[in-house]
Amino acid sequence: MMARSVPTSTDRAVRTDVRRNREWLLAAARAVFAEKGANASLYDVAKRAGLGTGTVYRHFPTREALLEGVLLDHFEALRVSAVDLADASAAPAPDEALTEWLRQFIVHLTEYRGLAAEVMSVLHDGASSLSLSCLEMRAAGAALLCRAQQSGTMRADLDMSTLLKLANAIALTAEQTSGHAAGQNASHAADDLLGYLLDGLRRR
């Protein structure tokens, strides 16, 4: 193993203030997005973090990058949840597990106003870093879909990509439907719509 004591230009100890500022920025972004929606100005994020706008761009070169930073935790939570729900020992039936996971997916996407639309416009690019950062979540979710298909309750001619698109569409609709009051209303509307959709995706 190469010695860590000979740092090169690409391998340098990360300054403590850099890491700290990155955390501050993510926390500020979460707070501002929750308050003003996912389209809040980056100036507001910088101000809330007590930093300059230039620092935002140093850490997150684009708005998309900042969004990705905020969403990574959500994707990881969804991945973990998918793994838990797929655990054969304590898990619910395959069909219920998939339903519950999609419900959670939609809850995460309606967390901030405008988030579903942002994710939508970026999730299906393939090349986008956001797309890559959720690959593991998609894989874990795909396992749930596969299980449901093998158990015979879900259509066989349904791929994970389409399923996520439909869930995304429902999140988008639920967000619009519930007006400006986020929370229970959106969740309830989303549950109804998801119920309709899943009925259509089940085997006859």
Partner DNA sequence: CTACGATTCTGAAGATCTTTCCGTTTCGGG
Partner DNA sequence: CCCGAAACGGAAAGATCTTCAGAATCGTAG
Count of CB atoms situated within 10 Å of the CB of 2: 7
Least gap, CB of 153 to its own copies (angstroms): 13
Least gap, CB of 15 to its own copies (angstroms): 38
What residues numbered 20-39 form the site for DNA, per CB under 7 A?
Answer: 21, 39
DSSP assignment of 28-68 equals HHHHHHHHH-TT--HHHHHHHHTS-HHHHHHH-SSHHHHHH
Least gap, CB of 63 to DNA (angstroms): 5
Report H helices in 63-134. 63-86, 94-109, 115-123, 129-133
Least gap, CB of 15 to DNA (angstroms): 4
Residue 89 binds which of its own copies, DNA, none (CB < 5-8 A, kind-dependent): none
Stretch 49-88: interaction string toward DNA, x if CB under 7 A: -xxxxxxxxxx-xxx-------------------------
- Residue 22 vs 114, nearer CB to its own copies: 114
In this structure, are residues 140 and 79 in contact, taking their beta carbons and an 8 Å threshold?
A: yes
Within 13 Å of residue 36, how many CA atoms lie on the same side as its CB?
12
List interacting residues with DNA (CB under 7 A). 9, 12-18, 21, 39, 41-43, 50-59, 61-63
